[in-house]
Amino acid sequence: MSIDVEAKQFSISAVAAAAGCKRVTLDAWRNRNHLFADTVTGTKEEKSLSFTDACVARAVKVLTDARINTADAIAVADAEMRAQITILLSQREPFSTLFGFHIGSSNKKDRAFCYMFAAEDFAALMAKTDGSMFVFDVTVIIDHVRKALKIPASSEGK
């Protein structure tokens, strides 16, 4: 069985549960912080989200649990981490599962630095920071969501 990882097939409640947050939290991220902005309609119409969206929501949850502010967490997860999640779900070629996030200056334009890297490049990347960086294994995020949504491991990749 194979699923289309971009198909909008999961309810917002199911995605919130898979992400490990309450529905009201996911709604706040959508309404106030523009996560999945295309799903905010201002009507009672229930929108659906994709498996990739669910992984991004989980990434936001993991980042906010690590004390990254919500706006930065959403900006990082919905752009840079989404790209890495999409590549990893495509299973077309080997790609790094590690994602690094470093808070830079207080200047909003240069605030967050993101890295997708191989384990052997970790020391070189740390040298570019002030000695601190959040590092995530994106496959752990994907596996968490896959299990929560009851998607068999071999079914991703469309």
- What is the spatial distance between Cα 85 and Cα 55, in angstroms, rounded to a whole number? 7
Q: What are the pLDDT digits (tens) for 19-76?
A: 999 999 998 998 888 888 676 666 566 788 999 999 999 999 999 998 888 988 998 8
User: Percent of the chain at pLDDT above 90?
Assistant: 31
Instruction: Compute how many other C-beta atoms are within 10 angstroms of the C-beta atom of residue 70.
Output: 16
Q: Which two tokens stand for residue 109?
A: 């334009």
